[in-house]
C-alpha cells in the first residue's frame, strides 16, 4: 500500500493521473459529440433547439457558478490541508458542512429562478416568438432539477480529485452525456424537445451516482450540518466570493453570445448553430487544456503550500507548453477544415446545408479563441492554487465588459453571427494576455525560460505549415470532391465515405507533418512524444 501511495505521489503517478483524466476527457468529448450529432439530426437548427439552448445556458450557469469552478477550487486546497493535518474525520466534517450549505443555496436560487423564469426569458431573448418564449420558460423550469444533482456530483468530484482519485470523476461527464443521448434517442421521437429535456435531468442524476462508489472507498461520512464553529467554512466563503464573480464572468460571456445573436434577429436556428460551433471549439479545449489543468491544480496547490516556488513555476510552464503544442494545430484544423468537419459530423436528418452555414460562420470566429481560452485555464488555476483570487476575478470582469462592448458594437453595425464569435475571441485573447503578464508578476522569473518559448514558437510555425498543407489539399481535391467547400452539394449516403476517407488521410498526414516539423523546429513536447512512441 505504501508503494502504491508513493507511486501515486511520484512522477509516474502524476503521468498516470494525467492519462486517466485525459482519457476521461476524450471519452467525455466523444460522447458529447455523439450527443450533438443525435440532437442536431433530430432537431436541425430550428426554433425548438434555440429554445432548448437558451434555457439550458441559463440553468447551466447556476451550477457552473456555484459548484462547477468556484466552490471546487476553494474547497480542494482546504480539504487536502485538513485531511493531511487533522485526519479524514475532520475533513469529512468540513465536506458535510459544505454540501449542506451548497444544497441550501442552490435550492434557494432554484426557487427564485423558477419564479423569475418568464420575465428572465423575455428579457434575455426579446426577439423570440411567443411560442418560443413559452417553451424556453418551461424548459428552464424543468432544468432547475439538474443543478442540485450536478452540485452534489461536483462536490463529489472535488473531494475525489483532492485525494488524487480521478477515474470516476473522469467518467462522470460521459455518463451525463449518455443520459442526454438517451433522451434524444429514446424519448424525443415521442415527446419532442421535452424528451431531450428529461434526458438532461436523468444524466445529472447519473453524474452523481457514478461517483458514489469512489466516495465510499474513501470512507465517506456525510451528514447534514451547517458546521457551526468550523473556521474553515469562513475561509471557503471568503475565498469563494471572488471566485463566484470570476466563474460568473466566464459563464456570462457564453450567455452574452447567445443573447446578442438573438438580438440580431436573423431568424430561427442561429443560436443553435452558434452553440454547435462553441461545442466544436470546446472539444480540443476539454481534451487537452481542461484535463491537463485539472490534474495540475492539486499539485500546484501542494507545491505552493510547501513553499516550492521553483517547482511550481516549472509545473505551470510545462503544462502551458503542452497545452499550446496541442491546441495551436487544433485551431488551424477547425478553421481550415471547418466545412468538411461540420458536414461529416452533423449534416444528416434535419441538419441541412443551411444549418452547416449557420455553424461554420461562428466556428471560424470561435476557433481563433481556442489557444487563449485553453491557456487561461491553467493560468487561472495557478492563481487559485496560490489563493490569489482577486486578480483573475478583476480580469474576468474586464473580459465581460470587453466582450459585451464588442458584441454590442457588432449588433449595432449588423455584422452577423461570425462577428459575435470573433468579438468573444478578441476578449478571450486580451484576457489571456493580462493573466499571463500578471502571473509573471506574482512569480518573478516564471516566463524567463528559453525552452518554453522555443517550444511555443516551434508549435506556432508548424501550425502555419498546416494551414498551407490543408488549404492545398482542399484546392487540389475540390474538383473531384466539391462538397469540401460550401459551394458544393453534399449527400450523406453517397458522399459520407469519400469525405471520411479524405479527412482521415489529410488529417493523418497533417498530424505527422506537424509533429515532425514542430520537433525539428525545437518543440520539446514533440521530442518527448516521439520518444514515447519509440519506447512503445
Distance CA 161, CA 155 (A): 10
Q: Is residue 23 part of a domain?
A: yes
Cell 419564479 belongs to 115
Does residue 384 contact residue 333 with C-beta atoms inside 8 Å?
no
pLDDT (0 to 100) of residue 178: 94
Residues 302-355: pLDDT tens digits? 888 888 888 889 989 999 999 999 999 999 999 999 999 999 999 888 888 888
Would you say residue 475 has pLDDT above 50?
yes
Would you say residue 80 has pLDDT above 80?
no
pLDDT (0 to 100) of residue 3: 37
Q: Is residue 473 part of a domain?
A: no
Residue positions counted in the chain: 536
Range of the structural domain that residue 115 is part of: 1-237
Residues 147-192: pLDDT tens digits? 778 877 877 777 787 777 778 888 888 999 999 999 999 999 899 8
pLDDT (0 to 100) of residue 375: 94
pLDDT band at 268 (very low <50, low <70, confident <90, very high): low
**pLDDT, the chain, mean:** 84
pLDDT (0 to 100) of residue 304: 86
pLDDT (0 to 100) of residue 12: 54
Q: Is residue 79 part of a domain?
A: yes
Q: Is residue 358 part of a domain?
A: no
Would you say residue 1 has pLDDT above 50?
no
User: Which of 59-63, 127-131, 243-247, 328-332 is predicted least confidently?
Assistant: 243-247
CB atoms within 10 A of CB 324: 25
Q: Is residue 150 part of a domain?
A: yes
- Tell me the average pLDDT across 450-456: 90
- DSSP code string of 455-493: HHHHHHHHHHHHHHHHHHHHHHHTTT-GGGSTTS---HH
> Where do runs of H (alpha helix) occur along 125-230?
130-143, 145-162, 167-182, 188-191, 193-209, 212-217
What total number of domains does the chain contain?
1
- Tell me the average pLDDT across 487-504: 89
pLDDT (0 to 100) of residue 200: 92
* Percent of all residues in the chain with a pLDDT value above 70, rounded to a whole number: 90
User: Which of 6-15, 290-299, 330-339 is predicted least confidently?
Assistant: 6-15
Residues 405-426: pLDDT tens digits? 998 998 888 888 888 999 999 9
For residue 229, the SS3 value is coil
- Tell me the average pLDDT across 216-234: 76
Pairwise pLDDT comparison (130 vs 15), residue with the higher score: 130
pLDDT band at 233 (very low <50, low <70, confident <90, very high): confident
Q: Which of 246, 271, 248, 273 is nearest to 260 (CA)?
A: 271
Pairwise pLDDT comparison (147 vs 76), residue with the higher score: 147
pLDDT band at 13 (very low <50, low <70, confident <90, very high): low
Would you say residue 510 has pLDDT above 90?
yes
Q: Which of 158, 66, 76 is nearest to 106 (CA)?
A: 66
Does residue 499 contact residue 483 with C-beta atoms inside 8 Å?
yes
Pairwise pLDDT comparison (207 vs 98), residue with the higher score: 207
pLDDT band at 4 (very low <50, low <70, confident <90, very high): very low
pLDDT (0 to 100) of residue 84: 75
Its pTM stands at 0.77
Q: Is residue 334 part of a domain?
A: no
Q: Which of 384, 383, 302 is nearest to 83 (CA)?
A: 302
For residue 163, the SS3 value is coil
Would you say residue 68 has pLDDT above 70?
no
230: left (phi over 0), alpha (psi -120 to 50) or beta: beta
pLDDT (0 to 100) of residue 524: 83
164: left (phi over 0), alpha (psi -120 to 50) or beta: left
Does residue 317 contact residue 375 with C-beta atoms inside 8 Å?
no
Q: Is residue 421 part of a domain?
A: no
User: Which of 59-73, 151-165, 282-296 is predicted least confidently?
Assistant: 59-73
Distance CA 118, CA 134 (A): 8
pLDDT band at 18 (very low <50, low <70, confident <90, very high): low
Largest CA distance in the chain: 74
Distance CA 519, CA 373 (A): 24
Q: Is residue 292 part of a domain?
A: no
pLDDT (0 to 100) of residue 292: 83
- Tell me the average pLDDT across 282-296: 83
User: Which of 81-90, 236-245, 416-425 is predicted least confidently?
Assistant: 236-245
Cell numbers at 150, concatenated: 450536478
pLDDT (0 to 100) of residue 536: 57
User: Which of 333-342, 392-401, 461-470, 508-517 is predicted least confidently?
Assistant: 392-401
- Tell me the average pLDDT across 430-442: 93
Would you say residue 267 has pLDDT above 70?
no
Would you say residue 8 has pLDDT above 50?
no
Amino acid at each position: 500500500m505504501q508503494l502504491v501511495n508513493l507511486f501515486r505521489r511520484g512522477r509516474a503517478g502524476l503521468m498516470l493521473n494525467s492519462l486517466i483524466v485525459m482519457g476521461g476527457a476524450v471519452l467525455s468529448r466523444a460522447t458529447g459529440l455523439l450527443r450533438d450529432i443525435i440532437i442536431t439530426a433530430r432537431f436541425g437548427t430550428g426554433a425548438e433547439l434555440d429554445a432548448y439552448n437558451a434555457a439550458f445556458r441559463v440553468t447551466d450557469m447556476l451550477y457552473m457558478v456555484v459548484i462547477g469552478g468556484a466552490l471546487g477550487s476553494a474547497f480542494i486546497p482546504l480539504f487536502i490541508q485538513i485531511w493531511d493535518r487533522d485526519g479524514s474525520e475532520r475533513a469529512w466534517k468540513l465536506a458535510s458542512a459544505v454540501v449542506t450549505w451548497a444544497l441550501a443555496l442552490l435550492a434557494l436560487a432554484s426557487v427564485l429562478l423558477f419564479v423569475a423564469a418568464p420575465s428572465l426569458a423575455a428579457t434575455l431573448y426579446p426577439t423570440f416568438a411567443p411560442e418560443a418564449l413559452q417553451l424556453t420558460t418551461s424548459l428552464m423550469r424543468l432544468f432547475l432539477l439538474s443543478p442540485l444533482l450536478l452540485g452534489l456530483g461536483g462536490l463529489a468530484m472535488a473531494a475525489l480529485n483532492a485525494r488524487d482519485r480521478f477515474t470516476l470523476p473522469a467518467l462522470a461527464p460521459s455518463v451525463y452525456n449518455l443520459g442526454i443521448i438517451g433522451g434524444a434517442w429514446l424519448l424525443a421521437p415521442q415527446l419532442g424537445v421535452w424528451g431531450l429535456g428529461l434526458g438532461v435531468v436523468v444524466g445529472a442524476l447519473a453524474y452523481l451516482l457514478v461517483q458514489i462508489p469512489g466516495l465510499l472507498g474513501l470512507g465517506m461520512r456525510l451528514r447534514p450540518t451547517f458546521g457551526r464553529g468550523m473556521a474553515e467554512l469562513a475561509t471557503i466563503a471568503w475565498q469563494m466570493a471572488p471566485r463566484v464573480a470570476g466563474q460568473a464572468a466566464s459563464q456570462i460571456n457564453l450567455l452574452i453570445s447567445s443573447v446578442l445573436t438573438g438580438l440580431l434577429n436573423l431568424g430561427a436556428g442561429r443560436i443553435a448553430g452558434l452553440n454547435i460551433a462553441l461545442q466544436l471549439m470546446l472539444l480540443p479545449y476539454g481534451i487537452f487544456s481542461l484535463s491537463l489543468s485539472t490534474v495540475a491544480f492539486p499539485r500546484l496547490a501542494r507545491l505552493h503550500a510547501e513553499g516550492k516556488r521553483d517547482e511550481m513555476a516549472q509545473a505551470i510552464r510545462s503544462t502551458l507548453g503542452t497545452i499550446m503544442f496541442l491546441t495551436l494545430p487544433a485551431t488551424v484544423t477547425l478553421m481550415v477544415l471547418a466545412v468538411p468537419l461540420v458536414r461529416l459530423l452533423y449534416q444528416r436528418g434535419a441538419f441541412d446545408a443551411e444549418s452547416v452555414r449557420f455553424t461554420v460562420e461562428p466556428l471560424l470566429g470561435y476557433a481563433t479563441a481556442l489557444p487563449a481560452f485553453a491557456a487561461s485555464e491553467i493560468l487561472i488555476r495557478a492563481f487559485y492554487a496560490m489563493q490569489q483570487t482577486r486578480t483573475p476575478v478583476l480580469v474576468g470582469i474586464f473580459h465581460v465588459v470587453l466582450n459585451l462592448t464588442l458584441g454590442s458594437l457588432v449588433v449595432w453595425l449588423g455584422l452577423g453571427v461570425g462577428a459575435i464569435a470573433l468579438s468573444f475571441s478578441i476578449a478571450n485573447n486580451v484576457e489571456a494576455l493580462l493573466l499571463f503578464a500578471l502571473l509573471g508578476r506574482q512569480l518573478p522569473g516564471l516566463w524567463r525560460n528559453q525552452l518554453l518559448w522555443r517550444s511555443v514558437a516551434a508549435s506556432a510555425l508548424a501550425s502555419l505549415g498546416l494551414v498551407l498543407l490543408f488549404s492545398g489539399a482542399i484546392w487540389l481535391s475540390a474538383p473531384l470532391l466539391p462538397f469540401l467547400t460550401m459551394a458544393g452539394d453534399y449527400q450523406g449516403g453517397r458522399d459520407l465515405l469519400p469525405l471520411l476517407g479524405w479527412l482521415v488521410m489529410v488529417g493523418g498526414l497533417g498530424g505527422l507533418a506537424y509533429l515532425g516539423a514542430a520537433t525539428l523546429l525545437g518543440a520539446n513536447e514533440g521530442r518527448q512524444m516521439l520518444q514515447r512512441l519509440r519506447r512503445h
